């Protein structure tokens, strides 16, 4: 069988996904780009150096991490202008997905050079694919704030949303994070913990958040390694029956015009305006 060739373009930034654990998940195209690039922009040159050593790749490395990404972007654009091919990698997975990379890609776009993605491993899609949740839409949140108060404040607007919500979390915060998720989303909301994905001690467990929080707190092994948490979508809100607001609408209608009565009832109850308006019309007609 003819082995495919993967020629690279000059004056282009390649955004290369690398394995999140199992080295077998790297693609042939990714290896070809890493071999042919003039330089590899790495989040941590020591981590990427070990990866390259495994595959016998000797391409030079340069450090491009969160704290120097803007400054290094200027140097990389100079190299692109000179015709170099640059490959960018993070320590694991896909650059710019809760990792450095977006700032550099934006600068390269602005300078008029091509940004070419080399798809591959991603903890986000790996966890979603194994979650078993059927909600058609999902929100990738990434890392929550490290402190509980700020974390709960960030979670509050997400509680009732009708889509999956995906979080990343570090091992030293996973127990507190899942406890806060259970407190905010409710202990019965289903969730999946996907930990150490593709590695030897990979764990993928699905259970209600309350049980998940208890399990993690009682097993220190589950507090090791990077984690992805997938929380199921909120269940549909029960239909609101207009009759349940008669206690509010009847005295208001006795004193106010219909529109004002409905507006005040909505302000007090938070119920949908259409539901209140339709019921107010029914009460008004019955009174006449």
Instruction: Give residue 271's pLDDT.
Output: 84
Q: Where are the beta strands (DSSP E) in 110-173?
A: 114-118, 138-143, 164-169
Q: pLDDT digit string (tens) for 58-107?
A: 999 999 998 999 999 999 999 999 999 999 999 999 999 998 899 999 99
Instruction: Give residue 240's pLDDT.
Output: 61
For residue 150, CA distances in Å to 146, 154, 159, 264 come to: 8, 6, 15, 33
Q: Are residues 84 and 95 in the same domain?
A: yes
Please report whether residue 266 resides in a domain: yes
Instruction: Give residue 7's pLDDT.
Output: 93
Write the CATH number for 223.
Answer: 3.30.950.10
- 3 or 173: which leads in pLDDT: 173
Please report whether residue 237 resides in a domain: no
Band of pLDDT at residue 245, cut at 50, 70 and 90 = confident
The Cα–Cα gap between 197 and 192 comes to: 12
Contacts of 233 (CB under 8 A, 6+ apart): 133, 135, 137, 161, 162, 163, 164
Q: pLDDT digit string (tens) for 86-96?
A: 999 999 999 99
Q: Are residues 186 and 281 in the same domain?
A: no
DSSP-assigned letters across all residues of 31-46: HHHHHH-SEEEESSHH
Q: Are 18 and 42 in contact (CB under 8 A)?
A: no
Number of domains within the chain: 3
């Amino acid at each position: 069988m003819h082995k495919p060739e993967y020629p690279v373009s000059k004056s282009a930034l390649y955004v290369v996904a690398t394995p999140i654990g199992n080295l077998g998940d790297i693609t042939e195209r990714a290896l070809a780009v890493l071999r042919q690039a003039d330089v590899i922009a790495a989040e941590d040159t020591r981590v990427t150096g070990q990866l390259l050593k495994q595959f016998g790749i000797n391409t030079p490395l340069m450090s491009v991490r969160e704290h120097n990404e803007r400054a290094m972007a200027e140097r990389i654009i100079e190299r692109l202008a000179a015709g170099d091919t640059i490959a960018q990698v993070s320590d694991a997975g896909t650059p710019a997905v809760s990792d450095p990379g977006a700032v550099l890609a934006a600068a390269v776009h602005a300078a008029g050079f091509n940004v070419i993605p080399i798809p591959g491993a991603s903890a986000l899609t790996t966890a979603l694919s194994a979650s078993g949740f059927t909600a058609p839409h999902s929100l990738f949140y990434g890392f929550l704030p490290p402190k509980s108060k700020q974390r709960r404040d960030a979670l509050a607007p997400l509680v009732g949303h009708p889509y999956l919500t995906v979080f990343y979390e570090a091992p030293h915060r996973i127990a507190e994070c899942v406890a806060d998720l259970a407190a905010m989303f409710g202990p019965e909301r289903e969730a999946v913990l996907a930990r150490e994905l593709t590695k030897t001690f990979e764990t993928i467990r699905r259970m209600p958040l309350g049980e998940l929080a208890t399990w993690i707190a009682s097993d220190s092994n589950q507090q090791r390694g990077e984690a992805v948490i997938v929380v199921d979508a909120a269940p549909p809100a029960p239909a609101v029956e207009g009759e349940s607001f008669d206690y509010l609408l009847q005295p208001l209608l006795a004193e106010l015009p219909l529109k004002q009565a409905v507006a005040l009832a909505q302000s007090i109850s938070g119920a949908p305006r259409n539901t209140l308006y339709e019921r107010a019309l029914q009460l008004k007609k019955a009174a006449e």
